[in-house]
Amino acid sequence: MTWLVTGGAGYIGSHVARALMDDGHAVVVLDDLSSGRRGFVPSGAVLEEGTLLDTAFLAEVFGRYDLAGVIHLAGFKYAGVSVEWPLHTYFQNVSGTANLLAAMEAASVRSIVFSSSAAVYGNAAAEFVTEGTPTTPESPYGESKLIGEWLIADQARATGLRHTSLRYFNVVGSGSLEVLDTSPHNLFPLVFRALREGSIPKVFGTTYPTPDGSCVRDYVHVSDVAAAHVAAARRLQEGAELEAVYNLGSGSGVSVREIMAEMAAATGIPFSPQVCPARPGDPARIVASGELARRDIGWEPRYSLREMISSAWAAAEADAAATL
Ligand SMILES: NC(=O)c1ccc[n+]([C@@H]2O[C@H](COP(=O)([O-])OP(=O)(O)OC[C@H]3O[C@@H](n4cnc5c(N)ncnc54)[C@H](O)[C@@H]3O)[C@@H](O)[C@H]2O)c1
């Protein structure tokens, strides 16, 4: 069976592509390399280089392969930047998804797993965010992910498309030394860069109503996230009825201060973070309930926080050494 992985040259998509191949599937990656890297595409997968905004390219790709389904991860993921670039965000994430669905319909490809985000919940007040927690996205990015979910659900109602959307919480770690989170905005890459450059990592806000005053988040290893896609894809292929959305979170919250203490231990570089003012719009705590994914796709996060940190640090060190 061949699966198309959009965004398969990106951080999470390349882990998904590897996990699919390990599970015995053939993989075609569709990626415009806007934030991904050619070198992240696993050997054995085919790379179709181009954008979801090019409908002729999409028709060509769908004409070339007999696809069992699509795992759709391509998108613009910088929530903060999306506030400055709403149209760019909507073109990439909403128009791109609509084009993909049209190409799937034309080629009679009938299964899709979509990469959504905890950003759809905005500043949810719930102690544990469930799939039923109201969606109140706080950025064009979060809105674009919610619209992506709606587009897919509407297309499913109209055409019988089999689908599910996975709302990831904070995805970290690396499954291999060759692939890493390259985001210039995420906590892990920011702290690691600071440590390499000899500057002090920053913690934004220490007076939140949390046990140590810093923000609490729910971290999941990228290999666990990848495994959830493979499990969901399999269930869709088997004809199982899945929910429209699933949270992918561990159900346990970790504060930024706790993460930094673990980072100091895992890297062997002692540091005390520099305290900076809280950033507007950062919720105090956002932690998922992952019960539904456990029930329906048998998903259980396997990696510890220490493994998330040490694997991410090892991949960041390998990347820094390779670019010297
Ligand atoms: N990293 C996280 O913590 C996180 C959390 C929630 C959701 N997500 C979502 O997961 C997906 C993957 O995230 P990531 O962290 O791997 O990001 P990433 O930037 O590494 O990967 C995105 C990939 O999509 C490609 N791409 C972007 N626009 C494209 C287009 N129009 N056509 C073709 N390819 C395009 C990029 O080149 C890149 O390879 C994204 O949709 C993101 O919104 C990520």
DSSP string, 87-117: HHHHIIIIIHHHHHHHHHHHTT--EEEEEEE
Q: How far is the CA of 180 from the centre of ligand 1 (A)?
A: 13
> What residue type is assigned to position 152 of the chain?
I
Query: Ligand 1 atom 28: the closest Cα is on which residue?
Result: 75
Q: Is the pLDDT of residue 147 over 90?
A: yes
Give 307-319 as a DSSP string.
Answer: HHHHHHHHHHHHH
Reply yes or no on whether the pLDDT at 35 is more than 90.
yes
pLDDT of 311 over the 90 cut: yes
Catalytic residue among 78, 141, 246, 303: 141
CA-to-CA separations, 96 to 31, 43, 76, 163, 165, in angstroms, rounded:
12, 26, 10, 17, 16
Break the chain down into helix, strand, coil percent, rounded to 5.
45, 20, 40
Minimum CA distance residue for ligand 1 atom 4 = 171
290-314 mean pLDDT: 96
Secondary structure letter of residue 42 according to DSSP = P
This prediction has a pTM of: 0.97
Residue nearest to atom 6 of ligand 1 (CA): 117
Those residues whose C-beta lies under 8 Å from the C-beta of residue 193, and which sit 6 or more positions away, are none
Give the ligand 1 atom nearest the CA of 96. 31
The confidence band for 60, taking pLDDT boundaries of 50, 70 and 90, is: very high
Residue 70's closest CA among 233, 228, 235?
233
Q: Is the shortest distance between the CB of 9 and ligand 1 below 6 Å?
A: yes
Contact 254 CB / ligand 1 (< 6 Å)? no
Structural domains in the chain, CATH included, are 2-172+219-248 (3.40.50.720), 187-217+251-284+302-322 (3.90.25.10)
The answer on pLDDT for 112 being more than 80 is yes
Helices (H), the chain: 11-22, 55-64, 79-84, 86-90, 96-106, 140-159, 187-197, 222-237, 256-267, 291-297, 305-322
Provide the pairing of β-strand 285-286 with 216-217. Answer: parallel
User: 78: CA distance to ligand 1 center in Å?
Assistant: 9
Ligand 1 center to residue 274 CA distance, Å? 30
> What's the pLDDT at 159?
98
Q: What does the pLDDT read at residue 236?
A: 97
Pair 280, 184: CB distance under 8 Å: no
Q: Is the pLDDT of residue 281 over 80?
A: no
User: Is 141 labeled as catalytic in the residue annotation?
Assistant: yes
CA distances from 91 to 51, 52, 69, 96, 312 (A): 11, 10, 23, 6, 31
Answer yes or no: is the C-beta of 165 below 6 A from any ligand 1 atom.
no
Q: What's the confidence (pLDDT) of residue 182?
A: 93
Tell me the CA–centroid distance for residue 145 and ligand 1, in Å: 11
Atom of ligand 1 nearest to the CA of 33: 37
Q: Are 12 and 29 in contact (CB under 8 A)?
A: no
